[in-house]
Structure 1
Amino acid sequence: MTAPLLDVDDLCVHFPVHRGPLRRRAGTVRAVDGVSLQVFPGETLALVGESGCGKSTLGRAVLNLQPATAGNLRFEGQDLLRLGHTAMKAARKRMRMVFQDPHASLNPRLRAGEIVGEAFTIHGCTRAEREAGVAELLDLVGLGPEHATRFPHEFSGGQRQRLGIARALALHPSFVVCDEPVSALDVSVQAQIVNLLMELQERLGLAYLFISHDLHLVEFIADRVAVMYLGRIVETAPAAALFANPLHPYTSALLAASPSINPDRREAYVAVEGELPSPLNPPTGCAFHPRCPMAIDRCRAEMPPLLAFADGHEARCWRAAENLDASEPVTP
């Protein structure tokens, strides 16, 4: 079996909350709370969930841009959480990020060529290498050499995101975190950027962690899907299996609430109501039980482990374990 490119084990990112004039600690926000996942070479793992569930924090944490509180994080066999500054700088050549807002993520004072070439400068490339790399990258994302001298405000939204993708591909990475890369774009442009990402993946052999709330888009682009709720992964499955038969009630609720899913298909999913609980004071047991129409007493008392089912499915749900044959937990 192919070894994972990225192997995340029980990763936690907690933020202390301070209140009052003396800034006393009043609690902890568990933004990422014991997440385990793997991304394999050349695949797209989509990460979905409501706003505030911890998706973007996890995306930054797997690149070691956001310090982890606990857990293990291995990329291409290296333990990222224990690398020194020099080794981590070298590892960053292989792992990059495309940000959600293509306007806010680009320095307005730099020209496009300088933005794309910044990584070459940081990693000690010569001027000739930088200029050749910038020209190649602009062409790769559908921009011409004349764009190198323009400032970000002179581009359309789609062109700015192409520029952001070109910057992410500098120095030939093998893994890219795409943090809702089309959500800030017009619908007419979204398909162009998604098609570009898929073409680049096939051409360059890239692996993506694709963070999104658009489930129709996820169904189109993803090989596997991980569903996140209140800092935890509650279900993971191949995309086709997850859309055909979601095992966790939260996944079913996301599908039922998605306007992009065909209405005839949405009727097969279970809708729920209610707001995402505060991560500062999460419910006991299964965090989804206050909103779950199928919750049982065990859901309110015990946090279910992530259990393995058929078809590559993993789900953190006591009801699924009762109704289907489940193997031993795959994570604590």
Structure 2
Amino acid sequence: MTPLLDVADLAVHFPVFRGPLRRKAGTVRAVDGVSLQVFRGETLALVGESGCGKSTLARAVLRLQEPSAGQLRFEGQDLLRLDRRAMKAARRRMRMVFQDPHASLNPRLRAGEIVGEAFDIHGCTRRERDAGVAELLTLVGLGPEHAARFPHEFSGGQRQRIGIARALALHPSLVVCDEPVSALDVSVQAQIVNLLMELQERLGLSYLFISHDLHLVEFIADRVAVMYLGRIVETAPIQSLYAAPLHPYTQALLAASPSIDPDRRHQHVVPDGEVPSPLSPPSGCAFHPRCPFAIANCRAEMPPLLTLAPGHDVRCWRAGEWAAAPQRAAIPVGS
């Protein structure tokens, strides 16, 4: 099956300059060789802690941030070879829902103008724009009468509905959702997630859904890619990931996610410490300073990406032995 979005070895590096002469002092490897695929009609969740490069990757996929290296194909097109005009046309089919519904909407524009902006940019007539705005506002659970209101007149959940309506203008096939519910109350989060799932079924959308909460993505994702310090460390179908997570970092994220299932509580070891700086990442496996199961290989060399089951890829030196003995998840720190 041909993927809708195919990302191969994508990198986004930022030079760091210091001193009065602005000399280069290093490079921040925000995204460091990421490969992933999104297929038509599916939701791929990208999860990880703050600072691991998720949002940078999301912007790079839409070329809102230019990649430093790698390949990026969408609907068969090589996006990195497109000029500005061709990229503008490609963005009709790939849109984004931003994290903060308060900051992502222009407070000086009415809701109808915000949703209709894409129609204006891409040369639609005023009649097409007005009809499209009314249809989109209704589609996300608002109404045409809301088009005349300003953002401050809406609740947080309603603002995010406007952001979703804006993303659906011009009938995209891929929507990148950059933590679209993290700024909302828990009850409103469920409403927005349900809305996204309903829209996916109705419109045949594909989602790249970014989150730090593995418990949340269990309800919306088909597959999950776990990201740590600019790299994908585990990719698996949602059922496989929750049944047998193989990377210690994935297990740490699961342990940190609240769950009402008593079989999942305190099941895995939670590592100490913070995510290292991407300006000076650790040698070998970047997770080894926080991993209670690290061995000499982990400190010396980056592990290869291993396929241990259909669709289940892991970047860990010990993944093979753990796949054969999943009970190791209960090993205490220092074993």
Q: TM-score under structure 1 normalisation?
A: 0.95
The 2-side partners of 1:303 and 1:261 are apart by 36
Residues paired across the two proteins, number: 324
Counterpart amino acid of 2:234?
E
Give the deviation of 1:311 after TM superposition. Answer: 4.1
Give the deviation of 1:120 after TM superposition. Answer: 0.3
Counterpart amino acid of 2:200?
Q
The 1-side partners of 2:6 and 2:17 are apart by 33
DSSP-derived class of the 1:3 partner: coil
The 1-side partners of 2:208 and 2:178 are apart by 8
Which residue is equivalent to 1:153? Answer: 152
Question: 1:143-292 maps to which residues of 2 (within 5 A)?
Answer: 143-260=142-259, 262-292=261-291
Which residue is equivalent to 1:11? Answer: 10
Which residue is equivalent to 1:318? Answer: 317
The 2-side partners of 1:324 and 1:48 are apart by 21
Which residue is equivalent to 1:58? Answer: 57
The 1-side partners of 2:295 and 2:5 are apart by 35
- Runs (4 or more) in structure 1 with deviation over 6 Å come to none
Which residue is equivalent to 1:127? Answer: 126
The 2-side partners of 1:311 and 1:79 are apart by 27
Which residue is equivalent to 2:331? Answer: none
Give the deviation of 1:17 after TM superposition. Answer: 0.7
Computed over aligned residues only, the root mean square deviation of the Cα atoms, in angstroms, reads 1.1
Instruction: Check conservation: 2:246, 2:322, Cα contact below 8 A.
Output: no
Which residue is equivalent to 1:330? Answer: none
CA-to-partner distance for each residue in 1:207-250, whole Å, 9 max, x for gaps?
00000112211111110000000000000000111011111011
Where does the alignment leave 5 or more consecutive residues of structure 1 unmatched? 326-332
Instruction: Check conservation: 1:304, 1:317, Cα contact below 8 A.
Output: yes
Give the deviation of 1:179 after TM superposition. Answer: 0.5
The 2-side partners of 1:261 and 1:255 are apart by 12
Which residue is equivalent to 1:27? Answer: 26
Counterpart amino acid of 1:218?
V
Q: TM-score under structure 2 normalisation?
A: 0.95
Counterpart amino acid of 2:289?
P
Give the deviation of 1:270 after TM superposition. Answer: 2.5
Q: Report which stretch shifted further, 91-100 or 184-193.
A: 184-193
Where does the alignment leave 5 or more consecutive residues of structure 2 unmatched? 325-335
Counterpart amino acid of 2:298?
C
The 1-side partners of 2:5 and 2:260 are apart by 30
Change (3 A) 1:19 1:183: same
CA-to-partner distance for each residue in 1:246-299, whole Å, 9 max, x for gaps?
110110111112234645313322221111111111010001111111111111
Give the deviation of 1:146 after TM superposition. Answer: 0.9
Instruction: Check conservation: 2:246, 2:323, Cα contact below 8 A.
Output: no
DSSP-derived class of the 1:220 partner: coil
The 2-side partners of 1:185 and 1:323 are apart by 37
Which residue is equivalent to 2:141? Answer: 142
Instruction: Check conservation: 2:215, 2:254, Cα contact below 8 A.
Output: no
The 1-side partners of 2:6 and 2:260 are apart by 31
Instruction: Check conservation: 1:96, 1:169, Cα contact below 8 A.
Output: yes
CA-to-partner distance for each residue in 1:116-171, whole Å, 9 max, x for gaps?
00000000001110111111101100111110000000111111000000000000
The 2-side partners of 1:4 and 1:120 are apart by 27
Instruction: Check conservation: 2:284, 2:301, Cα contact below 8 A.
Output: yes
The 2-side partners of 1:317 and 1:110 are apart by 49
The 1-side partners of 2:46 and 2:285 are apart by 20
Instruction: Check conservation: 1:241, 1:311, Cα contact below 8 A.
Output: no
The 1-side partners of 2:294 and 2:79 are apart by 38
CA-to-partner distance for each residue in 1:286-327, whole Å, 9 max, x for gaps?
0111111111111111101111011421000000134447xx
